Structure 1
Amino acid sequence: MDNNYRVAVIESLKKIFRDKSYSNLVINNDIKNIDVKYNSIYRKSVLGVVENLMLIDWVINQMSKTKTKKMESEVLFTLRLAVYQLYFLDNSFENIVVNESVEHIKRNVNVRASKFVNAVLRNIIRNKDNIIRDMNKLSHIDFLSVKYSYPKWLVSRWIGEFGKDKIEDVLVANNSQAPFTIRVNTLKVSRGELIRILERKGMIVEECKYLDKGIIIENPVEIDKMNEYKSGLFSIQSESSMLAGQVLNPKENSLVIDLCAAPGGKSLNAAEMMKNKGKIISRDVYENKISLIEYDKKRLGVENIFVETYDATVLDRKLINRADYCIVDVPCTGLGIIRRKPEIKYNKLESDLESIQKIQFKILENASKYLKLGGELVYSTCTVNKEENINMINNFLKSNSNFIMVDISEQTKNSFETSQKGYVEIFPHLHRMDGFFIAKLKRL
């Protein structure tokens, strides 16, 4: 193992936990500075520590008189990485992990701190079996919380939602790696053609089960550097997010309003489906994110998207009764995409739920006012909480009798029991896709 990659992992972890940055953005940025032969171990180590943080800290606290909350940051992140490697990496050599960690602290902190790190790690190695035994003695919720690194409130909530017998499946699936998927740009190429191109380049690919335009790539390497990406033959997008666009199913020459558009996947998908005919107004409250849509428009050859900075919670009277379709992908707790951003587990509080629901309801209400008679909207979230999903839709329908839910069986390949009722709930442990909610409503 190389100390250079260890330094990079520790620096990346500081950005994620201390500076509250998203792990996917940190990894994509920092991996550029690492020798390619260490890319895999770097990525695995950063994500491994983030996914297993509560277990790692619990192990350290079992064996250290100084607790993690009181540790100096360099020492803490060095220990976290070392414990992850001692417990989770198959080929990890205990002495090498300890020696490299001790040397790193000696160089970057001081000799006294390096002796402390050495003592804690040696103590952990000596007591590995006892530590596992002590974890197994914890109460059921504490055990699940520690073993899978989820806050107790979330474990309890998910036991209520999915049942005691399914809870470990749910936690394991949310800690597993998400498949890498792309959306074919049908303005430029068919799915069959793109599959043949990718296979000729040695890629292992398969069609997405629920999607007309989706491809899963088993061995994606530097996808964004490929000529096919640069020339706009495809975009990187999750299956669940693509399915929301498929459910929308917009007709050519329509007016579509995407209220919370950035980074733009759903708007761009709609433009491709509409064959560049009609108009899509793509709005987002964050100006810096809007530029991502502008970049992708050019890359994909999309001409019918008009990008604007606008706060979706504020009603725009100019658009009332004008839209054929609205895309309502609201801000949410994000608990369906933990596989992609594992730090979400620790950053969300149960108390966040109430304030975010008010925002969601306001945006949904505004979108409903933009629709013409007969117009349709798709409401979606990347979370699995009923309060933000089906309960939100039911509350809206109670106070808006001029809206109904629309059968979406055809758009979801008849694969979900609830699709006839107008909505689908997607769960990683059942569908191998990001946790998502998609509902389609029509104005009467």
Structure 2
Amino acid sequence: MAREVNERRIALDILTEMGKSDSYQKSAVKLALNKYDFLEAKQKAFIKYLAEGTIERQITLDYVIGQFSKTPIKKMAKPILYILRMGTFQILYMDSVPDSAAVNEAVKLTAKIHFVGLKGFVNGVLRNISRNKDEIAWPDPGKSKESKIQFLSVRFAEPLWLSKMFLENYGFKKTEEIFRFFLKPRPVTVRFSCRFSNEQLREILLKMKRANNGTIVMKPSPLLHYAMNLYHTDNITYLPGFDEGAFMVQDVSSMLVTEVAGLKKGDTVIDVCAAPGGKSLHAADVLKDTGKVISRDISENKCIIIRENVMRMGLNNVVVEDYDAEKHDPSLENKADVLYCDLPCSGLGIIGRKPDIKMNTDLNSIMNLQTMQRKILSSVWNYVKPGGTLIYSTCTMTKQENQENYKWILENLPFEAVSIEDRLPNQMKTIDTVGAGYIQLIPGEFDTDGFFIAKFRRKENS
């Protein structure tokens, strides 16, 4: 007998779990979907879209609810606020859900969680939003900086401080483009292993096309020949080729780290902050069972994930170690031909994939991250052999974590910048800074995440 579930109740449980902490955890969505893995793909997609969309659009949803509720949001019971957010999200952003269904299901859910006395309140607010959704008084960008910040924040559900930072760094038009990209549904991007022959990969691709009842759409990346964008996927671990290690989930921007590094067979690569291991495994794949990749992370749980990926991908030249990058390891001095410093960062370049990031970050934490990044760089720089390569990268877009750290490395460590023009896809070679040895990818500009990559060579006499 099939188990009956209420998708909206599961989404509410996810929001409740996420709301228990001051720090939003996207893992709550993954844990819930794993728990309900017996559901059909369509049901899981509905739960994921509703839960993540409600979190992603929270600022906008609260703005709208505030216009139609006499009770201030701060005075609402958390479960009722979550139900109102979910209902408003369905009304404004889910065309597949009739407004009447969004309202009625919200009222039923209110009763199920024992708030029967508030059914009329939930019904009234959501029906009012439904009737007047084309008349919502959105902020006007106007001419002042303050009005533009308010407009960007409300329309694209970004915090005021982030809207202000992006407006100052990129201007109004470019910030609008970036924020629109963050809200755009993104494919799952995978990197195919070069251990597989073209014939083997063709066979895997044919099987993938037939997976999920033939609903998967596959589009090759225009930037890297071994990257593929997958649309309408369910659980990626069920796809043909996953268990065999034919591919790993990784954005093209992340793949560019190994492209820029320019690895040679026999190289020793040290990755000091490696989890979940995408760059380490990419390096090991390119080395084709030669050389050695030392893949480290501070957390044993993260190292377990890296080891699982190493085993699945069938790589024999990777050593995974639990180690704190802030602590210098004398045994690694002068051992690395290439050192990967893809350091913990604010993650502002990947908000489109992890919308909870914008709820977890602020200006103070960015400055603290810069301090930690420089501490790690000071600890690990001499793992690089004289003449060897240091790759510094982040998945963010702040000058403090990127351009300022680039200058800091040149001014405080014995390294010189190396042009990366010859290591980039043709579409990126015209970016002004590639000759100076770094690139700041803007989200959406090449249909990739926001990312920063800089390449340095250790001076021979250092």
Return the letter of the residue paired with 1:406.
V
SS at match of 1:376: strand
CA contact (8 A) 1:249 1:270 kept: no
The match for 1:248 is 261
Residue equivalent to 1:9 = 11
Q: CA deviation at 1:436?
A: 0.3
The residue identity in structure 1 corresponding to 2:17 is K
Equivalent position of 1:198 in the other structure? 205
1:73 alignment partner, one of 62, 67, 78: 78
Tell me what 1:426 maps to.
441
- 1:249-280 deviation line (CA, Å, top 9, x unaligned): 22222221110011111111111111111121
Letter in 1 for 2:452: F
* 2:99 corresponds to: 94
- 8 Å Cα contact 1:281/1:307 also seen in 2: yes
1:311 aligns with 2:324: yes
Q: Distance in 1 between matches of 2:5 and 2:204?
A: 39
What's the C-alpha RMSD, in Å, of the aligned pairs?
2.0
Q: Does 1:390 align with 2:394?
A: no
Q: Is the 8 A contact 1:178 1:433 kept in 2?
A: no
2 CA distance for matches of 1:95 and 1:218? 30
Query: How many residues are treated as equivalent by the alignment?
Result: 439
Segments of structure 1 that go 5 or more residues without pairing to the other structure are none
Deviation at 1:21, TM superposition (A): 4.7
Displacement, 1:117? 1.1
Query: In the alignment, which of 239, 253, 265 is matched to residue 226 of structure 1?
Result: 239
Residue identity opposite 1:62 in structure 2: Q
Displacement after TM superposition at 1:338 (Å): 0.3
User: For residues 85-124 of structure 1, what are the structure 2 equivalents within 5 Å?
Assistant: 85-124=90-129
Letter in 2 for 1:38: Q
The CA deviation string for residues 120-149 of structure 1, in whole angstroms up to 9 with x for no partner, is: 22232344344x235448822212111111
Residue identity matched to 2:87: A
SS in 2 for 1:12: helix
Worse-matched range after superposition: 197-206 or 289-298 = 197-206
The farther-off stretch of 287-296 and 106-115 is: 106-115
TM-score, scaled to structure 1? 0.93
Deviates more, 1:133-142 or 1:62-71: 133-142
Of 266-275 and 167-176, more deviation after overlay is shown by 167-176
CA–CA separation in structure 2 for the residues paired with 1:36 and 1:371: 47
Deviations 1:5-24 (A, max 9, x none): 0101111122334344532x
Report the alpha carbon displacement of residue 43 of structure 1 after superposing the two structures with TM.
Answer: 2.0
Unpaired runs of 5+ residues, structure 2, are 210-215
Match of 1:51 in 2: 56
Q: Distance in 2 between matches of 1:398 and 1:378?
A: 16
Match of 2:309 among 286, 296, 319: 296
Asked whether 1:133 is paired with 2:137, we answer yes
Kept after mapping to 2: 8 A contact 1:250/1:274: yes
Match of 1:326 among 331, 339, 342: 339
Contact 1:249–1:273 (Cα < 8 Å) also in 2: no
Given that residues 148 and 172 in structure 2 are in contact (C-alpha distance below 8 angstroms), is that contact kept between their aligned partners in structure 1?
Answer: no
Aligned-pair distance for 1:108?
1.0
What is the DSSP-based 3-state SS (H/G/I as helix, E as strand, rest coil) of the residue aligned with 1:163?
helix
User: Aligned-pair distance for 1:245?
Assistant: 1.6
CA separation in 2, counterparts of 1:284 and 1:137? 44
Q: CA deviation at 1:30?
A: 1.8
Amino acid of the structure 2 residue aligned with 1:6: R
| Corresponding position of 2:350 | 337
The 1:227–1:196 alpha-carbon spacing in structure 2 relative to 1, beyond 3 Å, is closer
Query: In the TM superposition, what is the alpha-carbon distance from 1:326 to its structure 2 partner?
Result: 0.5
Q: Distance in 2 between matches of 1:296 and 1:188?
A: 16
1:179 equivalent in structure 2: 187
Letter in 2 for 1:113: L
Question: What is the TM-score normalised by the length of structure 2?
Answer: 0.90
